[in-house]
């Protein structure tokens, strides 16, 4: 049986950290930025660690 292909869309959105956790970018940072505060936009630039229940599925498709 051939190897599983990794999901290319997921590869662009998620990265695995050195400890094996999954890092993701935050949503709501792309448009309609005028009504959002500077602090909120600054915090949206930072990446976040994914919850373990979702990370399990993501690890399967990015490996």
Q: What is the pLDDT of residue 63?
A: 85
Q: What is the pLDDT of residue 27?
A: 96
pLDDT digits (tens, 9 = 90+) for 6-55: 999 999 999 999 999 999 999 999 999 999 999 999 999 999 999 999 99
Domains of the chain and any CATH numbers: 8-62 (4.10.410.60)
- 52-61 contact pairs (CB < 8 A, 24+): 54/22, 55/21, 55/22, 58/10, 58/14, 58/22, 59/16, 59/20, 59/22, 61/6, 61/7, 61/10
| Nearest residue to 43 (alpha-carbon basis) of 25, 57, 60 | 25
pTM of the shown model: 0.80
């Amino acid at each position: 049986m051939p190897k599983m292909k990794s999901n290319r869309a997921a590869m662009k959105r998620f990265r695995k950290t050195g400890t094996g956790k999954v890092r993701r970018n935050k949503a709501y940072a792309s448009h309609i930025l005028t009504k959002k505060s500077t602090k909120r936009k600054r915090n949206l630039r930072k990446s976040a660690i994914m919850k373990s229940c979702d990370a399990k599925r993501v690890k399967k498709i990015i490996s």
